[in-house]
Amino acid sequence: MTSQAENELLTRVGPGTPMGALMRQYWIPACLSSELVADREPVRLMLLGERLIAFRDSSGRVGVLDHRCPHRCASLFFGRNEEGGLRCIYHGWKFDTEGNCLDMPNLPADQDFRHKVKAKAYAAAERGGLVYVYMGGARRGTPAAGARGDAVPARRDRSLLPATPVQLAAGAGRRHRHRALRLPACRQARGRRHRSRPHGSLPAGDPRRPPRRARHRLGDDVHGLSSGRARQRLPPLRPFPDAVLGNVPERALRRQHHRPGLGPDGRHPHHAVLPELEPADTTAHPHRCGCRDPGFRTLFADPAEHDRLVRPLAARRQCGERLSDRPRAAADHELQRDHRRLPTGFRRHREHGRDLRPHPRAIWCRATA
Amino acid sequence: MIVVTRRRLLEAAVALRDKGTVPPLVDNPEASWSARAGELVAPADQPWFDAYEAALGQAVRQDRRLAAE
């Protein structure tokens, strides 16, 4: 039985926490390579409690930056992905994939100090159709990523998967703009029993029970997925769209991963399982069904405060209404609104980029309606 | 399994924090590539835990196998 202190140690993975430091020793799969298109909009990521954005510049390099512009903390998610970098929409500062500031159009040339400014950036590398992020900073004995833009240092490279592409399951949903959210959900989908847990216990007719389609998408409804009738209700199976991993024969992996739910031929996208996945962290929804609740309860000294401020939106999310399913403009609006609704102390805390405030209460809050 | 995993995670995190020990598989990630669940069919005339012990005795840890090669 783990003690409360051990639970804290286990579950806090933000910057500066021991478990966070441990996780940051490994490369973390962040999103699909196919999600990042050169000179197109960035993609939001939430990795180990850090809000990041990923984008691909004109030359095809992938950059992973803190979502806040170092100038005025506007979200670079809204930035323009221009030639060779991402330009903040607020004052036009432009950053390349390594976080170097390339342009400061709001300052006269003689006051320009772009060489002193650096956005927080993490090393990113692509392997087998996935973008991996290394958030650990300099590795012991390794030069601080001096060669990052040119080539991935050998030590780091060994932490990555082989480059040989193998057709495998990274999730087929075009609907999901923010695929990083899917990865933990995929892991949950591995076991049949797990899938039936999160929302499965609510009685039929309960308003909290997610609509069938949502449940299905989150991968948590089994209801006999292997039976003939249930299969007919599923959307048609497609071949996996993205090459993902491996030096293991494809068939062996498929058999391995699909055995619990659908049998050897079951290729439902939600049963995609990757060997390495982003760990579920304390910013994930307590149900760990893949959705995120930015104001989750344990951050608040008084849980009632959480309910008052955040609950309505969280409740909607819990019912399968997810940011990533909406048109981007609406999602952005909602995210910003979320942010404004949080208490001032919390917001300020977030903006300084420190870890979430620790709280003596249990980590996973009990889900209430 | 869950208990063991948690315990190992805790130990690795504390070791990294206190001693700077690099956690397992950072330097030899290939050891985890073929990590998969195992299975066996026990003979009908043998207690399953005996069969399990025998099978477990033959299992080779991937990282040690790689180190030996």
In this predicted model, what pLDDT tens digit does every residue of B14-68 receive, in sequence order?
999 999 888 877 776 666 666 667 778 888 999 999 998 988 888 777 667 777 7
Q: Check CB contact of A6 with chain B, cutoff 8 Å.
A: yes
Q: How far is B2 from chain A (nearest CA, A)?
A: 11
- 3-state secondary structure at position B47: coil
- In this structure, chain B runs to a length of 69
Alpha-carbon span B10 to A153, nearest angstrom: 28
Whether A352 contacts chain B with CB within 8 A: no
Q: A288 near A188, Cβ under 8 Å? A: yes
Q: Residue B19: closest CA among chain A residues belongs to which residue?
A: A18
CA dist., res. A208 & res. A299, Å (int)? 23
Cα dihedral angle (A197, A202, A207, A211), rounded to 10 degrees? 40
Cα separation, A187 vs A181, in Å, equals 11
Find chain A residues with C-beta within 8 A of B29's C-beta.
26, 158-161
Contact A22 B20 (CB under 8 A): no
Identify residues of B whose CB sits under 8 angstroms from chain A CBs: 6, 9-10, 12-14, 16-17, 20, 22-23, 25-30, 32-37
Q: In what order do the strands lie in the sheet with A80-82?
A: A80-82, A85-87, A94-95, A101-103
| B12–chain A nearest CA distance, Å | 7
Q: Which one of B10, B26, B36 has the shortest CB-CB distance to A159?
A: B26
Cα gap A283→A159, rounded to integer Å = 25
CB atoms within 10 A of CB A187: 20
Alpha carbon separation from B13 to A6, A63, A92, A132, A252 (Å, rounded): 11, 28, 41, 22, 33
d(CA A281, CA A230): 32
The rounded distance, in Å, linking the Cα atoms of A156 and B27 is 9
Q: Residue B36: its chain A contacts at CB < 8 A?
A: 256
Chain B interface, best mutation among A25, A139, A157, by max B CB count within 10 A: A25
Q: Are A28 and A88 in contact (CB under 8 A)?
A: no
**Interface predicted TM-score (ipTM) of this complex, two decimals:** 0.76
CB contact under 8 A, B22 and A25: yes
Closest of A313, A269, A323, A268 to residue A291, by C-alpha: A323
Q: Which of A19, A134, A194 to mutate to test the interface with B (most CBs of B within 10 A)?
A: A19
C-alpha gyration radius of chain B: 16
Contact B27 A6 (CB under 8 A): no
The answer to whether A367 contacts chain B (CB < 8 Å) is no
Mapping DSSP onto H, E and C, the string for chain A reads CCCHHHHHHHHCCCCCCHHHHHHCCCEEEEEEHHHCCECCCCEEEEECCEEEEEEECCCCCEEEEECECCCCCCEHHHCEEECCEEECCCCCCEECCCCEEEECCCCCHHHCCHHHCECCEEEEEEECCEEEEECCCCCCCCCCCCCCCCCCCHHHHHHCCCCCCCECCCCCCCCCCCHHHHHHHHHHCCCHHHHHCCCCCCCCCCCCCCCHHHHHHHCCCCCCCCCHHHHHHCCCCCCCCCECCCCCCHHHHHHHHHCCCCCCCCCCHHHCCCCCCCCCCCCECCCCCCCECCCCHHHCCCHHHHHHHCHHHHHHHHCCCCHHHCCHHHHHHHHHHHHHHCCHHHHHHHHCCCCCCCCCCCCCCCCCC
Q: Lay out the sheet containing A50-56: strands in order across.
A: A27-32, A130-134, A121-127, A62-66, A50-56, A43-47
A138 burial level (CB within 10 Å; 0-12, 13-18, 19+) = exposed
d(CA A284, CA A280): 6
Of A19, A26, A247, the CB nearest to B33: A247
Instruction: For B18, name the nearest residue in chain A, comparing CA atoms only.
Output: A18
- Lookup result for tokens 């592409």: A165
Q: Does A157 contact B at CB distance below 8 Å?
A: no
Note whether B20 contacts A140, CB cutoff 8 Å: yes
Q: What would the CATH number be for the domain defined by A28-137?
A: 2.102.10.10
**Closest by Cβ to A21, choosing from B16, B29, B36:** B16
Structure tokens at A119: 């956005």
The domain segmentation of chain A, as residue ranges, is 28-137, 179-271, 297-343
Q: Which residue in A has a C-alpha nearest to residue B6's C-alpha?
A: A10
**Distance (Å, whole) CA A43 – CA A75:** 12
Q: Is residue A22 less than 8 Å (CB to CB) from chain B? A: yes
Digitized pLDDT (tens) for each residue of chain A, 369 residues in all: 778 888 889 888 888 899 999 888 887 878 888 889 999 889 888 888 888 999 999 999 999 999 899 988 888 988 899 888 999 988 889 999 999 999 998 888 888 899 999 999 998 887 666 788 888 876 533 322 322 333 333 333 433 443 433 333 333 332 333 333 333 333 333 333 333 334 445 566 666 555 554 444 333 333 333 334 434 443 333 333 333 333 333 333 333 333 233 323 333 333 333 333 333 444 443 333 333 444 344 444 555 555 555 445 555 455 444 444 334 444 444 444 444 444 444 444 444 444 444 444 333 333 333
pTM of the model: 0.51
Q: Reduced to 3 states, what is the DSSP secondary structure of residue B56?
A: helix
Nearest residue of A to residue B25 by CA position?
Answer: A159
Judged against a pLDDT cut of 50, whether residue B8 lies above it is answered with yes
Residue in chain A lying closest to B23 (CA): A22
Mutate to test the interface with A, among B19, B32, B33, B39 (most CBs of A within 10 A): B33
| A140 to chain B: closest CA residue | B22
Instruction: Give the number of C-alpha atoms closer than 13 A to the C-alpha of residue A314, restricted to the C-beta side.
Output: 24
Q: Could you tell me if A161 lies within 8 Å of chain B, comparing CB atoms? A: yes
Are A66 and A52 spatial neighbours (Cβ–Cβ below 8 Å)? Answer: yes
Element (H, E) at B39: none
Q: At what angle do helices A4-11 and B2-19 cross, to 10 degrees?
A: 80
* One-letter amino acid of A162: P
